[in-house]
Structures are given as structure tokens and as C-alpha cells.
Structure 1
Amino acid sequence: MKRGLLFSAALVAAATIGLSMICGAARAGSAEAYYPKRAWGSFNGGQMNTSLLVFRDLNRNGVYDLGDRPMSRAAVELDKPNGSTIMRLTNVDGFANFRMSVIQRDLEVVDPGHYAFRVVPPPGFSVTTGNASQESDYVVSPGSPGDMIALRTTHPVGLAADLTISGAVAAGSRVSLTGPDGVTAAAKVGPDGRFSAPATSGEWLVDVSVGGAPQRRHVVVGAAPVVISAVSGKGGPEEEPLPNQHVVGFDDLMTSPGVFEIPSGYGGLNWYNLVAMHQSFTAGPGYINTTMSGEFIAYNSSGHPAQVFSDKPFDFIGAYFGVGWDDAEGETLIVKAWRGDEPAYEDQFVLSANGQVYFAADYRRITRLEIRTLHYWQAAIDDFAYRTGR
């Protein structure tokens, strides 16, 4: 009986609901109510970005094309109609964003008029696209996301590092460089033995006379300035290079955001305190600006010394290096190598978050490589090149 009473009560409730709907207490809505059209012509009251893209012009052809990459931490100025200037740094995707709204008056672009953009390259970089300065008129457009539009949008601005070959030699040495065009020129060597000379892309010969004993280095200049390892001192490249060349870009270790400790055995070498991650996993501009191949980058974990080692000798050819964070601009990288317990090589050079340098190490027959930073900031590393035996 109880189940029957409950069933009857349910029928009564359903009938009551149906009757109320028929009487108009609830009714189905119209398509016009569910899908309202915008009443165009009124102000929207929202905001949107007006932006400019800065990219690394890796092939230096002045065109934003396949293979080019965003440049983080590039300064972009915006001159406003009232005569003031504001600056924004590009984000991890290479965009300098300025917020625009007619109604929200505390943003960067709020008044119609003439605006001018200007990209200010970091030291050691040049504009390749010829459009560092761009101008546009902005007009009120009620109903658009920010109620204002630009009559002309910006075009991407390409930057490329000024190419150089630099290094350290014994004081009093003579250095000459022969470029791809066959022209030879002497480089000025400072009192501390350091030298730096402008270069172009291609193959170069670096000849160093140290106490009458000439030494020659073959150097390939690509998209970044090149630092060569010390020509004199312990462990010069007297051994023949090993036959099998490898390059690891750390892209085959992981496929998702996050960090991944590089395991021993990767690429046939052993790794300690080196971590791989997606270039944009953090906000560090140096990780974006150092990445050369793929989307992943390596760094020394927590800024502490890292090692690459093997029981069998290997040659360290070189790698791209930068510093991960802008607070570490000018950090010093120290690279050391051993053959067994015997020190073989040692070099140091300055890193930047704005872009990478290629360290042409040419360390031969080593068993252990140490990578450390002087002030314990994280060094970004890509395209680690080395040679092994059979």
C-alpha cells in the first residue's frame, strides 16, 4: 500500500506541474531570447591589446618566415598623442602588448590620435627588417572590444645578434682571422689576452701565434656570436677528433610542460644536475632567447654545477649558452674538462638573457665536463654537440 500511495502522489505532482505550465507559470523561451543580437553602435566598455611582435631573425633575411623565433625581453616604446612615452618588454611569445580602451581610462591607449611604436634593440643586436619605427592613427569605434581601432596595424620587427668571433689567448699573441671571402685581417688582442672581431656567417680560420708556434682553429659562424675556447694552455686540441658526431637538443626527453632530469645514458653520455624543460614553462626570457632547435631547453638545476661524463673518452664540440633570467644579465659561465683525474681545459665567458652565444669548445678526448655559473644562476643550454668513438 505504501508504494501505491507514493506512486499516486507522483502522478498528482506531475499533473500539477503540467497544468501550471499550460496556465503560463512556466513556458518555453523564444529563439530570439536565447540568441540575442548585439545592439551595435553603443560602447562596449571592454579592452583589447594593441601589439607589436619582435622576433629573432635567425636567417638574417629581414623577413618573418619559417624557422624564426619570438624574442622575449625586447624593449618597445609607444609615443602617445599627449606627448608621453611608455615602454613595454616583449613577453615569452615576442609580443609587446599595450592595453586599449576608450572607457577604461587607466590603460595605456585611451585617446584617439597618432601613435608611434619604436623597438629599441638590446646591446649587440640590430634590426634586420628596417621597420624599428612604425606609426598609426587610432580612432573611436563603438562596439569594438576596446571601442577603438588602429587604422594601420604593426608589422613584425626582426632582430639579429651582431656576429663576432671572440676568445682568449696568451698575452702577447697575434691573432688573425680569415673569413668566407678569403680576406684575412688581424684582431686586436687586449692586455688580458682577450680579443673580439666582427664576423659574418660561414666558415672562418683563426690563426694564433703563441711564442712563434702557430695554431689554427676552424670556426663556423651561424646565427649567434661565437666564443672559441682558449687556444693555449693545458689540453690543446692535439688529438685527432673522434669519428661519430652527435647533437642533442633535449626535445626527445618529454612531450609536455614541466621539468625532466636528464638521465644517464641519454645520447650515450652520463648527465648530472642538468634538467630539460619547455622553453616557455617559466617566465625566464633567456630560456626563450637561447632555444635554437625544437621547443625544449636544458639548464643547470638550481644554478648549481652540472656535469656530463663518460667512462669512454668523448669530444665536446660546443653548445649554445645563455642565462635564463634577466636578473642574471652578465653572469659568467665557467666550463672545465678532465681526462680522468687530470685537468685538461678551462674557459669562462659572459652570458646574456637577450640571446645566446655559441661556445666552440673543441675539447678532445675528455671524460668529464663541468658547467657552472659564477653566481649560481641558471645557464640555458641548447644543441649540445659532441663526438664519440665507435
Structure 2
Amino acid sequence: MSISTIAKKLSTAAIAATVIVLGIEAVAQATVLTFDDITSTPNFAPIPNGYGGFNWNNFYYQNGSTTLVSLSGYDTGRVSGDYVSFNGFGNPALVSDSIFDFNSAYLTAAWNNGLSVTVEGFKSGATLYSKTVVVDTTQPTLVNFDYFGIDELRFTSFGGVEPDYLIETGGSGTQFALDNFTFNEKVTSVPEPTLLPAILSIATVSAGSVLRRKQLKQS
């Protein structure tokens, strides 16, 4: 192999190394929202915008351990702590942010067994993902979504039949309980501008050192 060919390959490697260092897109560790770290409320309240870094539209949270909702999905759907979130009045509910990955969540029907919940993932208004799951009031269902690179989620629930033992409680509707909302927020790691000359210098010196050793071996 000629010295010129070696030099060309070393230069290419140095440039590639620099590009890798400068243009790394990394994914932060998964974050789990349990809704137990919001200000406690005696009944229910809207999830405040900013919780978990998201905007929340028609999502509420409430204490599922109270006797008022005993045996409903607000009670049986608790995975961690006492609080769960739910879609207000059974209407569609939205979660939005800058780009993120939606990993998974536990879903439970609040009142209707056989409740259908459609979860859509959007980016810039375009639908990238859609999944419909059927859940009951008796226990939470872990759903792995794996929606990558989205900026909005829409939850829509419909159907199902309320069991007799819940009709007696006076509650009704197509609400669902959601707990342990797990996501990854995308971050981009870029070195400080002052580090660029140092990175390029190191890459150049490394390439030159390897080339000189090759020349000495051939002399």
C-alpha cells in the first residue's frame, strides 16, 4: 500500500472521528412519571403544564385509594403510589413536547370493561404511530408503545360495558386510568466551540504520527 493511500485513509479516519465527536445525538435515560409527585389534591385536578417537561391537555390526576372510587380503575390501576392520571370526562387527551420517545404506560379502564383506548403519535402534525388496546377495570395493562421521535400523543377512549358492581357506585363513562408513563427525551450533545480546534488538532496529530511510523518502517 502506497504512502499516499495510507495518508488518504488516515485523513478520512480523522475527519470521521471528528464528525462522530461533534454530531452525536444521544438519548437520555428513561424517565417514569408516576403522578405521585404533583401537589396532593382531595379529589382531582388538571395535570399542570410543565410536569415531566410536557404540556397536558384534558389530563387530570387523582388519588385512587379513596373510598369514592374503590374497585374502579382509578383504584385497581394504581401501579406506584396512590395517584393515577385520567382523561377528563372521557374525552380525548393530549401530551406534547419537543421531540421525545414514548416507551410504555399502564392503562386501566376506569368504569367500562372492554374499553378501547387508541393512542396516536404525531410529529409536526403527521401521524407516525397508532395503536388501539382493549383494557378492563380489574387490573392495569402494561402497553409497550415504542413511539420514536414524536412531539405529541393523543389518547382516545371508547366503548366497553360497565359491570354491575361499578354501576352501584354511581360512576360511569369512558375514562381510563394511566400510570407510570415512561419516555425518553432526545438530547443532542455538541462540544463547546472552543473545543473544536483541540479536537481537530488531536485528530491531525494522530494521523501524522501513524504515517511517520509507517515511513520509518519502509526506510
TM-score range, shorter chain: 0.5 to 0.7
Q: 2:78 aligns with which of 291, 294, 299?
A: 291
Does residue 321 (structure 1) correspond to residue 107 (structure 2)? The answer is yes
- Tell me, what secondary structure is at the counterpart of 1:267? helix
Answer whether contact 1:249 1:384 (CA < 8 A) is retained. yes
Answer whether contact 1:329 1:353 (CA < 8 A) is retained. yes
- Tell me, what secondary structure is at the counterpart of 2:30? strand
C-alpha spacing 1:316/1:241, structure 2 compared with 1 (3 Å): farther
Does residue 353 (structure 1) correspond to residue 137 (structure 2)? The answer is yes
Does residue 267 (structure 1) correspond to residue 64 (structure 2)? The answer is no
- Tell me, what secondary structure is at the counterpart of 1:287? helix
CA deviation after TM superposition for structure 1 residue 254, in Å: 2.4
Pairing 1:1-390 to 2, within 5 Å after superposition: 242-281=27-66, 282-283=68-69, 285-310=72-97, 312-325=98-111, 328-375=112-159, 377-390=174-187
Residue 190 of structure 2: aligned partner: none
Matching residue's letter, 1:344: L
- Tell me, what secondary structure is at the counterpart of 1:389? strand
Rg comparison, structure with higher value: 1
Q: Structure 1: which 5+ runs fail to align?
A: 1-239
Answer whether contact 2:119 2:156 (CA < 8 A) is retained. yes
- Tell me, what secondary structure is at the counterpart of 2:27? coil
Answer whether contact 1:253 1:260 (CA < 8 A) is retained. no
CA deviation after TM superposition for structure 1 residue 291, in Å: 0.4
For 2:41 and 2:53, how far apart are their aligned partners in 1?
A: 23
CA deviation after TM superposition for structure 1 residue 374, in Å: 1.9
- Tell me, what secondary structure is at the counterpart of 2:119? strand
For 2:82 and 2:65, how far apart are their aligned partners in 1?
A: 8
Answer whether contact 1:241 1:387 (CA < 8 A) is retained. no
Answer whether contact 2:79 2:180 (CA < 8 A) is retained. yes
Aligned residue-pair number = 148
CA deviation after TM superposition for structure 1 residue 256, in Å: 4.0
CA deviation after TM superposition for structure 1 residue 258, in Å: 1.4
Matching residue's letter, 1:378: Q
C-alpha spacing 1:367/1:273, structure 2 compared with 1 (3 Å): same
Q: Structure 2: which 5+ runs fail to align?
A: 1-24, 160-172, 188-219
CA deviation after TM superposition for structure 1 residue 350, in Å: 0.7
- Output the aligned Cα RMSD: 1.6
CA deviation after TM superposition for structure 1 residue 252, in Å: 1.1
CA deviation after TM superposition for structure 1 residue 241, in Å: 7.7
Answer whether contact 1:318 1:385 (CA < 8 A) is retained. yes
Answer whether contact 1:278 1:297 (CA < 8 A) is retained. yes
1:129-163 deviations in whole A, cap 9, x for unaligned? Answer: xxxxxxxxxxxxxxxxxxxxxxxxxxxxxxxxxxx
For 1:241 and 1:264, how far apart are their aligned partners in 2?
A: 25
Answer whether contact 2:101 2:186 (CA < 8 A) is retained. no
CA deviation after TM superposition for structure 1 residue 341, in Å: 1.5
Give aligned-pair identity as a percent.
Answer: 29
CA deviation after TM superposition for structure 1 residue 279, in Å: 0.5
For 2:40 and 2:73, how far apart are their aligned partners in 1?
A: 21
Residue 39 of structure 1: aligned partner: none
Which of 1 and 2 has higher RCO (CA within 8 Å, sep 6+)?
Answer: 2
Residue 5 of structure 2: aligned partner: none
